[in-house]
Structures are given as structure tokens and as C-alpha cells.
Amino acid sequence: MRTQVAIIGGGPSGLLLSQLLMRAGISTVVLERQTRDYVLGRIRAGVLERGAVEMLHRAGCGARLAREGIAHEGCNLSTVNGMFRVDFQARVGEAVTVYGQTEVTQDLYAAQDAAGAVIFHEALNVALHDLEGSAPWVSYEKDGQSHRIDCDYIAGCDGFHGISRQSIPAEKRTEYERVYPFGWLGVLSRTAPAAEELIYANHPRGFALASMRNPTLSRYYIQVPLSDNVEGWSDHAFWDELKRRLPADVAESMETGPAIEKSIAPLRSFVAEPLRWGRLFLVGDAAHIVPPTGAKGLNLAASDVHYLFEALQGAILERDDAALDQYAPRALKRIWGAMRFSWWMTSILHRFPGQSDFDQKIQESELLQLETLESAQVTMARNYTGLPY
């Protein structure tokens, strides 16, 4: 089989890139290790920046998002001293859109189906070959048979645990990493959201977040030690702990119900360089991970796709190979911007093991500045709603 761009990974990055390329008349093949149902069932991101929303419109799959996405013009931060709101609209004239990653992938799969995309699920043992030459190829196995795809370029969209990043020789890779000493226990429930906008809570018992997917579906998170496992957290224990960390009036009036999904995610900041190795380009979580505190992961994946789409269009449609050199520097600038913001949000909102009284005072002072200084709110709102592409 032959294609112009082989895409490894059928998550949001891979599907969005495939959809944009196909609309530009460039052929793609997507290889996904899991089943489609598995990809569609993964409950992850919930907040989209305007840039990501615009990308989905450009990809021709923004109709349902325009109908069902909920604009949020601010968010709340809760501290021991009370709750305050950062008004994104007033500070930077922007908003974010609440629309689940599951909905995004569903819309992308529907658009890809309509466009006649070639997507192979349950593609196993994917391996990348001759990346440094002019004729790279991909091998994989499906239903016990070996297959080969010849291509011009390969997009590594296979997430943090994928093989694309590992295909760059270890001695040529630099990895920048911070692993945080806690995780997030997340619960999805068919209940009305606790508040109209998100609440990020700094609490002596640990961080908590009240989020949502739509008016009848809520998403909540609490900081937990990495040694905890999901089985150890009954629904009752979860709600009890969440309520203790949210403002009392919110906790009193909030609706609770059975968890329809419950999972623990570790928190990590990570960037791998280079993003390009010959004809391979790393995109999204394959290249970088941010802690979810800033709601940046999926949004960064969308901006990577934007830069790579422009680079590939230049190289393939205009025969301008120099366009490919632009991908990494453009993407990295934005990636490090989101790294800094996610790290900062994580640092000011969580309880770190061994946190000293000094650390505690600094955290309180950061939150007080955010509450009282307009310039601090402008910076926060600018970053939360998305740095420019």
C-alpha cells in the first residue's frame, strides 16, 4: 500500500491531521492499535481553546460543537479564604468551550468516515523504517498478517506510550521531564454540574476540580497519592472527599450519583526533542505531556497539528521542503508556553508531600495576587484561553 502521509495513532491528533490533509487533497493512512470503541470510550479532556475550536471547524467537523459546546467566559478558584472568579472575557476578551474529548473524537471519526478515510484499527507491532531516507515505510500486523505501507512522511500521533518517539535513536533524543508526586482521581457522573463554571480548589486536604461535560454530565477530580488505586475509592468515599475540598455552599447543594467512570491519572510535565527525525514528525502527547491542571493537552495537540499541516502542505503541494523545517520551532514555542502555564497552575493548586510552611505561604501569596491583581488575571486568562498560534 502507498500513501503520502502515514499517521500512527487514531486519537484526536491523528484523526484531526488526517482530516485536514485529506481535505487538502493529500492522501493518508491511519494506524491505530486499539479498537474504535476503546478510543471513543476514553474520558479525558473537557476544555477547548478557541484555536482548537477553529481547527475543528476548518476540518469540517464543527457543526455539533457549535450546537452543543458550552462557552465559559471565566472560571473560579477556591482557597481557604474563599472563592474568586477570573473573568476571561473581561480580562482578555476570550472564552473557552466545554466539549468533551469523546465528542471531539466521535465527530472526527464521523467526518473521516464520510471522507472515505483509510483507518486500520487493531494494527499491532507498528514499526517505522528508513526515516532518514527519502522513502520511509511502516510495517504492522493485523489479524495475524504482516503489512507494509510506503509513504513520503510519517506523523507520530501515538500518544505518550507510542512507538514513534522511541523510533528516534535514544542518543539523539533529549527529554525534559518533571514527575509530580500525586495523581488525579477522576469521576464522571450523570448529575448536574456543581456550578455554572469550573472550580479549581486549593485545599489543605489536596486539590479538587469541579468540571462538566454538559448540563446533565459532571466531571470531578481530586488529588490523590500515587499509591492509591481506583478500587480503594468507593463512590461514597469520593463524594465525601470531594465535598470536603470544595466551598461549603457548593458542597451542600451539589448533586451526587453513581460514578459512570472512575480512573486515576498520574501528573507529568514532559517534552521530547527533536520533534522531527528525517521524515518522522512527533505530534501531541507523543512529543509532550502536561499535567491536566491547565487543560492544555488536547489544545496543544491541536496547535501541533496546525503547524504540521501547514508544513506538510508546503512540502507536498508547493514542493517547499523548507516548510518542514518550520514545524519544530513553531510548535516548540507554543509547547513551552503551555508547559510553563500547566506547571504553574499545578504548583499553586496542589498540596505537595513535605510542603513547608514557607511553600504554603508562597502558594497563598500567588493565589492572593491572582485574586487582587488585574495584571496577574490577564496573564492567567491569556494562558488559560490559549496563547496565540
Residues that bind ligand PHB (CB under 6 A): 45-47, 198, 209, 211, 219, 292-293, 295
Which of 69, 156, 159, 193 touches ligand FAD (CB under 6 A)?
159
Q: Which stretch binds ligand FAD (CB under 6 A): 43-51, 141-149, 222-230, 248-256?
A: 43-51
- The SS3 assignment for 95 reads coil
Does residue 301 belong to the site contacting ligand FAD (CB under 6 A)? yes
Question: Is 388 considered catalytic here?
Answer: no
Catalogue the long-range contacts made by 250-253 (C-beta closer than 8 Å, 24 or more residues apart): 250/194, 250/195, 250/199, 250/210, 253/194
Catalytic residue among 296, 306, 327, 350: 296
194 binds, among ligand FAD, ligand PHB, none (CB under 5 to 8 A by kind): none
Strand boundaries in the chain, DSSP class E: 5-8, 28-31, 47-48, 70-72, 74-79, 82-87, 96-98, 118-120, 124-129, 137-142, 145-150, 153-156, 174-189, 199-201, 208-214, 217-224, 259-273, 276-277, 280-282, 288-289
Question: Is 296 considered catalytic here?
Answer: yes
Q: Where are the alpha helices (DSSP H) in 27-118?
A: 36-41, 50-58, 63-68, 88-92, 101-114
Nearest approach in angstroms of CB 388 to ligand PHB is 20
d(CA 358, CA 369): 17
Catalytic residue among 262, 288, 292, 350: 292
Q: Which stretch binds ligand FAD (CB under 6 A): 27-35, 67-75, 78-86, 269-277?
A: 27-35
Which of 8, 92, 108, 119 touches ligand FAD (CB under 6 A)?
8
Cβ atoms of 299 and 48 closer than 8 Å? yes
Phi, psi (degrees; rounded to nearest 5) at 161: -95, 15
Does residue 100 belong to the site contacting ligand FAD (CB under 6 A)? no
| Ranges within 110-129 binding ligand FAD (CB under 6 A) | 123, 126
Does residue 151 belong to the site contacting ligand FAD (CB under 6 A)? no
C-alpha cell at 257: 450519583
Does residue 331 belong to the site contacting ligand FAD (CB under 6 A)? no
Longest dimension (CA), the chain: 63
Question: Is 176 considered catalytic here?
Answer: no
Does residue 158 belong to the site contacting ligand FAD (CB under 6 A)? yes
Q: Which residues lie near ligand FAD (CB under 6 A)?
A: 8-14, 31-34, 39, 44-47, 101, 123, 126, 157-159, 161-163, 184, 186, 265, 284-285, 292, 295-299, 301
Active site residues: 72, 200, 292, 296, 384
